[in-house]
Structure 1
Amino acid sequence: MNDLPTLTELKVLAAIATHRSFRKAADELELAPSTLSHMMSGLEARLGTRLLNRTTRSVSPTQAGERLVERLRPILQDLYGALAEVDASRDHPRGTLRITASETVSLLLLRTVIPVFLSRFPEMAVDLVAEPAFVDIVAEGFDAGFRLGEEVPRDMVGVRFGGASRMLAVSSPSYLEGRDLPRTPDDLSAHHCIRTRTPNGRSCKWEFERHGQVVVIDVPGALILNRAELMTEAAIRGLGIAFVPELVARHHLEAGVLTSLLEDWCPPYPGVFLYYPGHRHVPAGLRAFIDVLKAYPEGSVSVGAPRPLSA
């Protein structure tokens, strides 16, 4: 074959096959969707076979396109790894680091690690995508992601961020005035609770555990919010009891504007981890980010009280 596809064409094909969308692939590659469409039409004409099925609403690879993309992905990964090794030989890392995390962790990173990282490594950029649901970081083109320790896939490398954490029931002292303190999770049925929902719209139940006994409660409450920070703020305002990550409420607990409840029913869990593919070469930018991340000792991270390290 005399007219081989260009590297750009192969990257475009892989991105379209991953996203099943010209628009999303164009956003990733910073090109116009029409440019991607014309590029793929030209590639198909030169190869003499259709690689993509197109409709007015969707795009998907054909069998030939899918086979080609499956062979391309490891080749492109090896190429990116080789280029990353070249970049790693530089004195200062440069480029863009793509990371995905929940909104809560994203806010935490913006108040702690990211300012220090960008200050120390001015040739780096951070593309942080806050997603309510976990994504496949390899398929979506992320360098790393954040999730709870027990949810890190086995084929990924995990780096602890901020130590162990737990969910806590919290309320303002003003809300508790004149009310009986809940002594067990069942006592929550007599209180106003600030509820939340899963991404698919179902009400989230509150789960407690003590001495091996697990209690799951579908709490009552007239207020439903979709972010832990909003639930914490509602609790501060005296609107009821919220069940939120300790790292979100810690500063407010220390300041005395919130009170923790049912602490002996709120066991710790491993906490948040950064994770990345274990089989890939680690880019210099990600290594530098991990170094900054590790500088935060366990228990020092709090959403409400940003304490950045000196650059």
Structure 2
Amino acid sequence: MNPIRLDSFDVFAAIVRCGGFRAAALERGVSSSALSQTINALEDALGIRLLNRSTRSVSPTEAGQRLLDRLSPALDDIQLAIREVDDLRDSPSGTIRINAPAPAVDHLLCPLVFGFMETYCDVKIEIISDAAVIDIVAQGFDAGVRFGQQLAQDMIAVPLGTSLRYAIVASPDYLLRHGAPQTPHELVGHECIKRRFPGGTLVTWRFVHEDVELEVKPAGRLTVSAVHNELQAALAGRGIAHVLDDYAKPHIRDGRLVELLPQWGANLPHWFLYYPSRRLPSAAMRAFLGYVKSYDWQASATT
């Protein structure tokens, strides 16, 4: 049997966990071709195929699954040992990968991370902006950000920021040409800028006033997939937008947008940072969690 590099087994486990070479390469910060070469060398050394590969998927062969079943406890022990050694350092180090929707990245994670990195100079942060609901463990992330009701049961959740609120906004020019709706029902006669989720569904506009709750399916000629484009269209006078008020506030203050139907505004739950309950967080991740829990969100919201 040819000599085998021990890190080849970790590469093999990462490819299976991530479901492919591309995702595993992103997790490890290397090229897909480098991982492919590692697996080829491992299979050659063992004299047996470990992975079934197609253009759409990668899965372990029977031999690969048996090897993985025996390897996984040992690899977990190695990772635990590395983290225990890392705890003896004067300062945490390593990389933290976080998956989060763009609004959470813009208004919560980026300001939070900038301050954290000033304190913990040896920690690297990778933030992937993604509105799709994913398996953060399978995709190699340390944590994700979502609304509370979207979390899996085996996750630990830490609240981020204050409660959220949507604002209905339009430019003064649009309102001069079309008038301002006085109730949510009147939105039906306006050019509303629609936004589509990554899964394909259109965002429904929800309103609450006293004991009355309404949902409006916006109608309009323009549909976008990003909140920045929805806001851009509203600023250009192309219609009425439905955006988190964190995006709208600066433009309302400078008079470029006008908030409509403020008495119908509906508060939403907090964002939550979540991470696996079954995995021991690294020293870097534990430091980040401590920083999140001690962060003054009220002070941040007023600046």
1:220 and 1:301 mapped to 2: Cα distance? Answer: 35
Report if aligned partners of 1:168, 1:263 keep a CA contact under 8 Å in 2: yes
Report if aligned partners of 1:155, 1:278 keep a CA contact under 8 Å in 2: yes
Report if aligned partners of 2:235, 2:256 keep a CA contact under 8 Å in 1: yes
Aligned twin of 1:288 = 287
Aligned twin of 2:91 = 92
Distance 1:30 1:178, change over 3 A: closer
Equivalences for residues 220-299 of structure 1 within 5 A: 220-299=219-298
Q: How many angstroms does 1:6 deviate by?
A: 4.6
Aligned twin of 1:17 = 16
Aligned twin of 2:188 = 189
Report if aligned partners of 1:231, 1:242 keep a CA contact under 8 Å in 2: yes
Equivalent position amino acid for 1:279 in 2:
R
Distance 1:121 1:249, change over 3 A: same
Q: How many angstroms does 1:301 deviate by?
A: 4.9
Distance 1:111 1:47, change over 3 A: closer
SS at match of 2:16: helix
Higher mean C-alpha displacement, 163-172 vs 140-149: 163-172
SS at match of 1:193: coil
Q: How many angstroms does 1:71 deviate by?
A: 5.2
Higher mean C-alpha displacement, 52-61 vs 136-145: 52-61
Higher mean C-alpha displacement, 262-271 vs 211-220: 211-220
SS at match of 2:185: helix
- Where does the alignment leave 5 or more consecutive residues of structure 1 unmatched? none
Equivalences for residues 24-35 of structure 1 within 5 A: 24-35=23-34
Q: How many angstroms does 1:299 deviate by?
A: 4.5
Alignment TM-score, normalising by the size of structure 2:
0.85
Aligned twin of 1:116 = 115
2:237 and 2:212 mapped to 1: Cα distance? Answer: 30
Equivalent position amino acid for 1:208 in 2:
F
Higher mean C-alpha displacement, 157-166 vs 223-232: 223-232
1:8 and 1:212 mapped to 2: Cα distance? Answer: 60
Equivalent position amino acid for 2:20 in 1:
S
Aligned twin of 2:38 = 39
Q: How many angstroms does 1:188 deviate by?
A: 0.3
Distance 1:37 1:231, change over 3 A: closer
Aligned twin of 1:205 = 204
Distance 1:101 1:51, change over 3 A: same
Aligned twin of 2:132 = 133
For residues 209-253 of structure 1, give each alpha carbon's deviation from its aligned partner in whole angstroms, at most 9, with x where no partner exists.
Answer: 445544332212122222112212322333221111222223333
Equivalent position amino acid for 2:270 in 1:
G
Report if aligned partners of 1:22, 1:33 keep a CA contact under 8 Å in 2: yes
SS at match of 1:181: coil
Equivalent position amino acid for 2:27 in 1:
E
SS at match of 1:273: strand
Higher mean C-alpha displacement, 145-154 vs 176-185: 176-185
For residues 183-211 of structure 1, give each alpha carbon's deviation from its aligned partner in whole angstroms, at most 9, with x where no partner exists.
Answer: 33221011111111122444333233445
Aligned twin of 2:81 = 82
Aligned twin of 1:164 = 163
Higher mean C-alpha displacement, 60-69 vs 272-281: 60-69
1:74 and 1:207 mapped to 2: Cα distance? Answer: 48
For residues 24-80 of structure 1, give each alpha carbon's deviation from its aligned partner in whole angstroms, at most 9, with x where no partner exists.
Answer: 433433445444334323433454543111346653211332344355445434432
2:293 and 2:202 mapped to 1: Cα distance? Answer: 36
SS at match of 1:177: helix
Higher mean C-alpha displacement, 180-189 vs 42-51: 42-51
Q: What is the aligned-residue RMSD (CA, Å)?
A: 2.9
- Fraction of identical pairs, as percent: 38
SS at match of 1:166: strand
Equivalent position amino acid for 1:123 in 2:
D
Equivalent position amino acid for 1:215 in 2:
L
Q: How many angstroms does 1:292 deviate by?
A: 3.4
SS at match of 2:97: strand
For residues 263-292 of structure 1, give each alpha carbon's deviation from its aligned partner in whole angstroms, at most 9, with x where no partner exists.
Answer: 333321212111111232222212222343
1:271 and 1:121 mapped to 2: Cα distance? Answer: 26
Report if aligned partners of 1:100, 1:142 keep a CA contact under 8 Å in 2: yes
Report if aligned partners of 1:97, 1:124 keep a CA contact under 8 Å in 2: yes
For residues 163-184 of structure 1, give each alpha carbon's deviation from its aligned partner in whole angstroms, at most 9, with x where no partner exists.
Answer: 1102221223333236443233
SS at match of 1:239: coil
